[in-house]
A and B are shown apart, each in its own frame.
Chain A
Amino acid sequence: MALLRTENVDFIYSKGTPFEKKALSHVTFSLEKNEFVGIVGTTGSGKSTFIKLLNGLLAPKKGAVYFNEQNIWSKGYDLRALRFAVGISFQYPEHQIFSDTVKEDIAYGLKNQGVPENLWQDKIMEVLKIVGLDETYLELSPFQLSGGEIRRVALASIMVMRPQVLILDEPTAGLDPVGRDTIYTALKQYQKETESTILVVSHNMDDVAEYADSLLVMSAGQILAQGTPAEVFSKTEELTAAGLAVPEITQLLHHLKLSGLPIQDSLFRIEDAAQELANFLNEVKKDE
């Protein structure tokens, strides 16, 4: 049974006006419990629109969205409970930050959820660690943080609520390289420990290749491909045609292969690539 799924959803912005824009058409997708899925796609392909449908921030014009097999737009459905179960961290973190201090901002969701105040501190410290900030940040105003620091606070504010499904729209845009790794490693850990489900929208192919169990490729409001990173990234041509790219390391291996090395070029992890090249080069040495 799928935890969260969409059936043939369409979404149209400004319907019935001259600015009408079809952002999604016939999207059928399902997310299983405890999965880590990456969504990739060009700018404007409908990714942000799609995730807003998943927790009922937008309603589909056609088709349906089910959480635990219940249609979220059926009469009397508790959408507020859904928003706690399916938490979204938005692409532009400034839009979700509005308190005077970092601490208040992170505690905001806990308050709404009705979590007793004596439990806040521990929960807050826990998520701060996940996003790589220390407690000195708690009393600062979010408006005096750097871009990457705001991003981290925004992530913490959603994660602290422990949603069953955590949806992150470009979570690592603006993070420094070590911050990127810290967050993804922590997300993986969090997913295991809490048996939660994670959906990450990202333009960074290297990140999703490394961390996602499966990938959803969107193009012009539709699903172009779906599968494991290995399956998806073996389709270099299709991805390129859709304005996307394979991970850097895959590009390098592809380049080497084209220049005549008989190596496997669909790898996307640096360790795997190093092993493949080492094997090949050691063979060459032995042959001589």
Chain B
Amino acid sequence: MTALIETQNLTFHYQNTEKNLLEAVTISFEEGTFTALLGSNGSGKSTLLKQFNGLLTPNEGAVFVLGNKTSEHENWLTIRQNVGLVFQNPENQIVSTIVEEDVAFALENLGVKRETIRQRVNEALQMVDMYDYRLHPPYKLSGGQKQRVAIASILAMRPRCILFDEATSMLDPQGRAEILAIIRRLNKEYGVTIIMITHLMEEVIDADRILILDKGTVVYDDSPYTVFQHVAAIEKLGLTVPVVTKLADRLKQKGIHLSEQTLLTKEDFAEAIKQYMEGHHGTIEN
């Protein structure tokens, strides 16, 4: 089975600098998976993500999207249609003067039929809870609302993979929860492959896979439960672990060892406490 995205010895530096920002990165992403990409500021996350839809191309090595090499010009349309990218800053992503036109823009550009456009635009706007704003001028929206429009514009293309570069970082808690729910739904129900950069560890708990980048190389590539075992090492990389994991770690320092397993969710934690209490109760009864 061909991977949806695959890199081989991907090495990259920007034109104006000598230093390699990505160093022989070889990874692949299977269709339908949900990956979180973590790393400290400047570790190379955005640079790597832009390689996945050909916005940047390697100096050495290669990147393939559905078997199409990103450095070959004739593959660009296929690649862009299949892999959408949502940026951090909503301000730079909006091109039109009416919300629904903005969402329709890429489709119109590709010559899609009017009826199809209408249907897809409405559906995309509903998915991000911005349908009521479809006739508003985007400049009037505040940051979070613009970001939802940007996501809708990508959704309207019905891509097989969406890359999110800190797409939730400007949103309020509810907006963030909504977007995350949308991201999960796209992945679980529609099988859209997700690769998501974030600095918020709570957002990555239910990812299939966590990649951690440090100075342009992949230093962790594993499930959240495995990666977040390494509390001290993770903190050394400029990162942290989810609050639940941190609390369990603090309790351990106080001599209370809740569980051998890494705890990530509230439910994990509640269950571990229950078992801990039963365990102690048990020893007395015996």
Contacts and interface: CB of A to CB of B under 8 A. Distances in A.
Contacts of A14: 140
Nearest to A46: B142
Given A243-B174, A278-B251, 14 more contacts: A21-B140, A147-B89, A148-B199, A149-B41, A173-B170, A174-B169, A176-B239, A203-B176, A245-B173, A252-B266, A256-B273, A270-B243, A277-B256, A284-B281
Interface string A4-26: 00000000011000010100000
B153 to A, nearest CB: 18
Given A43-B143, A288-B284, A92 B91 contact: yes
B95 interface: no
Interface string B232-249: 000100111011101100
B75 interface: no
Nearest to A278: B254
Contact of B238 (A95, A146, A152, A177): A177
Interface residues of A, number: 56
Nearest to A40: B172
Interface in A251-288: 251-252, 255-256, 259, 261, 270-271, 273-275, 277-278, 281-282, 284-285, 288
A132 to B, nearest CB: 9
Top 8 A-B pairs ranked by shortest CB distance? A148-B41, A43-B144, A245-B173, A177-B240, A274-B250, A288-B284, A243-B174, A248-B243
Given A248-B202, A278-B254, A174 B270 contact: no
Contacts of A145: 42
A79 to B, nearest CB: 25
Contacts of B238: 176-179
Contacts of A252: 243-244, 247, 266, 269
Nearest to A152: B41
A16 to B, nearest CB: 15
Given A44-B142, A147-B46, A203-B176, A177 B239 contact: yes
Interface string B107-124: 000000000000000000
B88 A174 contact: yes
Among A94, A178, A270, A273, chain B packs the most CB atoms within 10 A around the CB of A178
Contacts of A255: 266-267, 269-270
13 contacts: A42-B144, A43-B144, A91-B170, A92-B89, A147-B46, A173-B170, A176-B40, A176-B199, A249-B243, A251-B266, A270-B250, A271-B250, A284-B281
B191 interface: no
A278 B256 contact: yes
Interface of B: 14, 16-17, 39-42, 45-46, 88-89, 91-92, 137, 140-145, 165-166, 169-177, 199, 201-202, 235, 238-240, 242-244, 246-247, 250-251, 254, 256, 266-267, 269-270, 273-274, 276-277, 280-281, 283-284
Contacts of B283: 288
B176 to A, nearest CB: 7
A145 B174 CA distance: 30
A175 B89 CA distance: 13
A149 B240 CA distance: 18
A43 B171 contact: yes
Given A43-B142, A43-B143, A248-B243, A281 B277 contact: yes
A273 B247 contact: yes
A277 B258 CA distance: 11
Contacts of A203: 170-173, 176
Interface in A107-156: 141, 144-149, 152
B166 A174 contact: yes
A147 B172 contact: no
Nearest to B166: A174
Contacts of A44: 141-142, 144-145
B42 A149 contact: yes
Contact of B46 (A94, A95, A146, A206): A146
A282 B251 CA distance: 11
Nearest to B281: A288
A91 B33 CA distance: 32
Given A176-B238, A281-B256, A206 B277 contact: no
B89 A42 contact: no
A48 interface: yes
A167 B140 CA distance: 23
A87 interface: no
Contacts of A149: 41-42
Contacts of B172: 41-43, 203, 243-244
B116 to A, nearest CB: 30
Contacts of A278: 251, 254, 256
A282 B173 CA distance: 34
B250 A19 contact: no
B109 to A, nearest CB: 25
Nearest to A274: B250
Given A149-B42, A252-B244, A278-B256, A177 B169 contact: no
Given A144-B17, A244-B172, A270-B243, A178 B235 contact: yes
A186 B258 CA distance: 34
